[in-house]
């Protein structure tokens, strides 16, 4: 079964849970709850990365280095001090990564596809693992970002080039993860195609993280009977289906908000799939 990475947004404006865990004590309490539910990693982010487009309007609002450090470091210090809890920092700023790694994080989750070599160097110098999420621009879901000659081949090619950049900056190959970046610079149909093509990502030899949780592609592919797109909190059924596809496709980890429910979905998907000769 893939690892479960629990989403912990210490932000006022994340698409699903913005503002709920901005207070450090609330964030720490929620992180501990996610760990109790079975999260292997807590992925802490202090700046929203929601992409611009018809769903989220202008997209995320950048915050200063000082503000982002102030949001994530107290939470990371408290959570990483707990036995058995691994913490990832979701950031694109090298200065934030350095502070987070000093505070106890052991993974850097880069949603800008290794665009800044200084971020990879920060991970390398700390001996941290490094997640490269595929992205273009700021993730806007519109042309030219969504124009691919061959979607799966192009995304894999761009991820492999990013992995080479990370390794040139000092990150060992064994410490690199790749993430197809569902919902970032991809339409709903493109996200679905990537999700059903994880076998091709496995052939790269890199570990794979997939983040389908509550994303807008679920709302677009499965609207309500009225035709309306369900809000983030009402996308759990679609998320569970996507997590099951991650199991079938051989993902090494899934990044989710609802750890207990998705742990159950992953366990059942694995139980149904393995007797048929699926990947372990």
* Phi, psi values for residue 182, rounded to 5°: -55, 135
Q: Is-contact 268 223, C-beta < 8 A?
A: no
Which one of 50, 121, 136, 255 is the catalytic residue?
255
What pairs with residue 133 in β-bridges?
179
CB of 155 closer than 8 Å to CB of 181: yes
Closest CA to 209 of 58, 66, 115, 90: 90
Q: Which two tokens stand for residue 193?
A: 């195609």
Q: Which of 215, 229, 235, 263 is catalytic?
A: 215
Of the candidates 187, 197, 236, the residue with the CA atom closest to the CA atom of residue 213: 236
| Residue 10 per-residue DSSP state | -
Q: Is 203 a catalytic residue?
A: no
Tokens of 269: 């998907």
Q: Do 219 and 200 meet the contact criterion of CB atoms below 8 Å apart? A: no
Is 50 assigned a catalytic role? no
| Neighbouring C-beta atoms of residue 5, cutoff 10 Å | 27
199 and 249 in contact (C-beta within 8 Å)?
Answer: yes
DSSP single-letter state for residue 133 = E
Residues with a catalytic annotation lie at 215, 255
């Amino acid at each position: 079964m893939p690892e479960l990475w629990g989403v912990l947004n210490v932000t006022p404006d994340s698409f699903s849970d913005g503002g709920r865990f901005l207070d450090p004590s609330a964030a720490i309490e929620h992180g501990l709850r996610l760990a109790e539910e079975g999260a292997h990693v807590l992925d802490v982010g202090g700046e929203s990365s929601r992409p611009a487009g018809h769903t989220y309007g202008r997209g995320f609002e950048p915050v200063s280095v000082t503000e982002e450090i102030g949001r994530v470091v107290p939470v990371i210090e408290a959570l990483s001090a707990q036995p058995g809890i691994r913490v990832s920092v979701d950031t694109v700023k090298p200065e934030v990564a350095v502070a987070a790694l000093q505070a106890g994080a052991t993974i850097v989750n880069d949603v800008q596809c290794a665009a800044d070599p200084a971020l990879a160097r920060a991970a390398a110098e700390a001996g941290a693992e490094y997640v490269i999420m595929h992205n273009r621009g700021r993730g806007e879901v519109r042309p030219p970002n969504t124009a691919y000659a061959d979607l799966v081949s192009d995304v894999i090619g761009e991820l492999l080039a990013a992995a080479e950049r990370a390794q040139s900056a000092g990150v060992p190959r064994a410490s690199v993860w790749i993430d197809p970046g569902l919902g970032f610079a991809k339409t709903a149909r493109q996200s679905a195609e990537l999700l059903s093509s994880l076998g091709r990502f496995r052939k790269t030899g890199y570990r794979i993280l997939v983040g389908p949780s509550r994303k807008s592609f679920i709302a677009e592919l499965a609207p309500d009977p009225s035709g309306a797109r369900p809000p983030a909190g009402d996308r759990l059924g679609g998320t569970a289906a996507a997590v099951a596809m991650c199991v079938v496709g051989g993902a090494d980890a899934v990044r989710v908000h609802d750890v207990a429910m998705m742990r159950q979905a992953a366990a059942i998907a694995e139980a149904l799939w393995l007797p048929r000769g699926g990947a372990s």
